[in-house]
Amino acid sequence: MQPPDDPLAPPSGVFAEPWQATVLAMATALIRQGHFTQIDWAHALGAKLAEADKMGAPDTEDTYYNAALTALEQLIGQAGIPPADQATRKAAWEDAYRRTPHGAPVVLE
């Protein structure tokens, strides 16, 4: 696999699973809302990718997206978003995906 021009870019440049796009979309939305900066995101993701590499994780999409998810969770915790707000949002998403027919996009009302 050739390294991408952007070392923080997904390995293949495409999403293998919908949740992978969601992780990056959530990071983008939180950056736009001012919860953390692009620099914070780059540092957190880079650190998680370095940790995965140090632990001998393979250079795969799964490794990349698990690092992205872990970095996002870390930044959300540091951003001071109250746990009650996180729980409310999580419950809304769970309700939305349970109501959504298989194969249809999940819509959060």
Whole-angstrom distance, CA of residue 38 vs CA of residue 55? 26
pLDDT of residue 55: 95
Question: pLDDT (tens digit, 9 = 90+) per residue, 33-76?
Answer: 899 999 999 999 999 999 999 999 998 888 998 999 999 989 99
Which pLDDT belongs to residue 1? 41
User: What is the reported pLDDT for 36?
Assistant: 93
- CA separation, residue 77 to residues 5, 40, 68, 83 (Å): 30, 13, 14, 8
Question: pLDDT tens digits for 79-97?
Answer: 888 888 888 888 888 898 8
Q: Count Cα neighbours of 41 within 13 Å in the Cβ-side half-sphere.
A: 20
pLDDT at 3: 46
**The pLDDT of residue 50:** 96
User: Would the pTM of this model clear 0.75, i.e. be above it?
Assistant: no
Directed axis angle between helix 61-78 and helix 38-54, to 10°? Answer: 130
Structure-model confidence comparison of residues 94 and 15, the more confident one = 94
Longest dimension (CA), the chain: 43
